[in-house]
């Protein structure tokens, strides 16, 4: 899960990109980066940290130009080293910078091709650098001194032919314009908008529509699966379908957890879809326990608040805020290791005793991944004097790792992997465990856009829609993603700080 943005404007874009990245900060807290272009020169700043930590006044003054791209990152493929912060850059052809949200499932094979056939060197373990080099190579093959929109779209066609996985991409070609495209299944989101100024229209591409809203752009539409949009430096918009076989399969987890509720993704209002999730959960409660004894519904802030409110309304029971969140602690989902996640939960949430004492409490969360957070929250509720603690998840059981750009852990670190719902409930210590049904979750989202009939539901049912994910691939993924591997990686990153500091001084 990362956030991307690209802008072609009539004035300097550095502040607007900064504002957009701040709004997209929930999509990645590991690193941030920005590249702007003035004339035929790129200006780059990227580093580990939050947006307001990476970009200080001295950096912003150097990021001049009327077009640029930006990125917020947390690592899925590659390490968390600052050397792998995005955007990446190659100088041939033309000079291209690229930022990417998603994950290529054939990145290792492509990296080998880059070296042996295309004679290109990949300097990091990031699949985003691989994708950049594939695009650069295919654009160079067009053999033009000045690339046209048709040349650029032809290169994107070849990218789709060579790359598999989920990806939303924004790229900038020095002196020419901004390009954005989306994988043929439409797994990862991207949209674009425009705003009118005295000197003409300005355009923005972003992962979520909320970035457009905050920066004063009007959303035009989502980029279609397999489609590319090229906005030249004069503000002319070119679009073309660049994939042969396309289908709408957006990531269902975007609507449950990843996206901000004030975003619209693939014409689906995220807030509305979460309201429906709460209604569906309430209907399941009434089916399974029509004589339930729930006194109060309490959300686990923040993502589940909308669903919890609608659930309480449908059940005709009280809705209460029982946890106060420390907003200066990052998402535990993105914490680098299990020990750090465990330590962060109690610092992040503090219960209000009066909302729990002598009550039957229904806790509502968007999902349960490792179960670490859920287990501690259930215990908090008991410590505050709750008579019974029930737990509802707005998403179905997460049983399988994600391979399309969400850093879900290895399968054996998922609490629901190999466990029944009741066994998960027993593990986290709840008196009753309630999961959303997959069919109900799909209905909540497709209600906003009848054209979406299928979704990427791989984390719930293990069905990987790109067709290239097998047991061997998942085994390699598990070796990279388990907490032990990440602990070793973090140690290695720490030992390379001297190199990273040198890199940071250069930019």
DSSP 25: G
* Dihedrals phi, psi of 393, to nearest 5 degrees: -110, 125
Give the count of beta carbons closer than 10 Å to the beta carbon of residue 39: 9
d(CA 395, CA 441): 7
* Dihedrals phi, psi of 390, to nearest 5 degrees: -105, 160
DSSP 174: T
Nearest to 170 by CA among 160, 178, 162: 178
- The reply to whether 303 sits in an annotated binding site is yes
What DSSP line would sit under 199-218, residue for residue? TEEEEEEESSHHHHHHTTPE
Burial tier of 124 (Cβ tally within 10 Å: 0-12, 13-18, 19+): middle
Torsion sign over Cα 254, 256, 258, 259: positive
Q: Is 191 labeled as catalytic in the residue annotation?
A: no
Nearest to 86 by CA among 103, 69, 62: 69
- The reply to whether 365 sits in an annotated binding site is yes
Nearest to 455 by CA among 177, 254, 216, 264: 254
What DSSP line would sit under 228-255, residue for residue? EEEEETT--EEEEE--SS-----BHHII
Q: For residue 410, give both structure tokens.
A: 């290895």
- The reply to whether 366 sits in an annotated binding site is yes
Catalytic residue among 2, 191, 215, 444: 2
Three-class SS state of 88? strand
Does residue 466 contact residue 165 with C-beta atoms inside 8 Å? yes
Cβ neighbours for 422, distance < 8 A, ≥ 6 positions apart: 433
d(CA 1, CA 71): 11
Give the count of beta carbons closer than 10 Å to the beta carbon of residue 507: 14
Instruction: Give, in degrees to the nearest 5, the angle at Cα 292 between 286 and 296.
Output: 105
**What residue numbers does the annotated binding site for Mg(2+) cover?**
303, 365-366
Q: Which residues are annotated as a binding site?
A: 303, 365-366
Active-site amino acid positions: 2
């Amino acid at each position: 899960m990362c956030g991307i943005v690209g802008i072609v404007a009539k004035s300097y874009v550095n502040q607007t990109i900064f504002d957009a990245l701040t709004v997209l900060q929930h999509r990645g807290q590991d690193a941030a980066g920005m590249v702007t272009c003035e004339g035929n020169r790129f200006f780059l700043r990227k580093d580990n940290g939050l947006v307001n930590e990476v970009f200080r006044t001295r950096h912003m003054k150097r990021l001049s130009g009327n077009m640029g791209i930006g990125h917020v990152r947390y690592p899925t493929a590659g390490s968390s080293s600052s050397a792998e912060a995005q955007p990446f850059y190659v100088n041939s052809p033309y000079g291209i910078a690229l930022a990417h949200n998603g994950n290529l499932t054939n990145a290792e094979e492509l990296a080998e091709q880059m070296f042996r056939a295309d004679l290109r060197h990949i300097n990091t373990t990031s699949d985003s650098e691989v994708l950049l080099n594939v695009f650069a190579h295919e654009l160079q093959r067009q053999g033009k001194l000045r690339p046209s929109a048709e040349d650029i779209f032809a290169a994107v066609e070849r990218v789709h032919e060579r790359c598999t996985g989920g990806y939303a991409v924004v790229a900038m070609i020095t002196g020419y314009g901004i390009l954005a495209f989306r994988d043929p299944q439409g797994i990862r989101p991207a949209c674009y908008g425009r705003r009118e100024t005295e000197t003409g229209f300005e355009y923005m591409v972003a992962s979520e529509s909320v970035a457009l809203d905050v920066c004063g752009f009007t959303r035009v539409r989502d980029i279609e699966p397999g489609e590319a949009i090229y906005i030249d430096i004069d503000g002319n918009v070119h679009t073309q379908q660049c994939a042969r076989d396309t289908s709408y399969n957006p990531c269902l987890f975007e609507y449950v957890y990843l996206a901000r509720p004030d975003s619209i993704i693939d014409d689906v209002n995220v807030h509305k879809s979460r309201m429906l999730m709460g209604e569906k959960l309430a209907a399941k409660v009434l089916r399974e326990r029509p004589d339930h004894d729930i006194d109060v519904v309490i959300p686990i802030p923040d993502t589940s608040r909308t669903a919890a409110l609608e659930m309480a309304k449908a059940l005709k029971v009280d809705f209460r805020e029982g946890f106060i969140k420390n907003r200066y602690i990052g998402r535990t989902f993105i914490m680098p290791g299990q020990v750090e996640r465990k330590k962060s939960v109690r610092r992040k949430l503090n219960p209000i005793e009066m909302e729990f004492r002598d009550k039957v409490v229904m806790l509502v969360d968007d999902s349960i991944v490792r179960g670490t957070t859920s287990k501690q929250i259930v215990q908090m509720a008991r410590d505050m004097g709750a008579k019974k603690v029930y737990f509802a998840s707005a998403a179905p059981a997460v049983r399988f790792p994600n391979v399309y750009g969400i850093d879900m852990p290895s399968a054996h670190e998922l609490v629901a992997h190999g466990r029944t719902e009741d066994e998960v409930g027993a593990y986290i210590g709840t008196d009753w465990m309630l999961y959303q049904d997959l069919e109900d979750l799909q209905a909540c989202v497709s209600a906003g856009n009848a054209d979406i009939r299928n979704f990427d539901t791989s984390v719930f049912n293990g069905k990987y829609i790109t067709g290239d994910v097998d047991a061997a691939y998942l085994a390699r993924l598990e070796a990279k993603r388990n907490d032990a591997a990440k602990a070793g990686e973090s140690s290695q990153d720490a030992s390379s700080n001297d190199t990273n500091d040198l890199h940071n001084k250069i930019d």
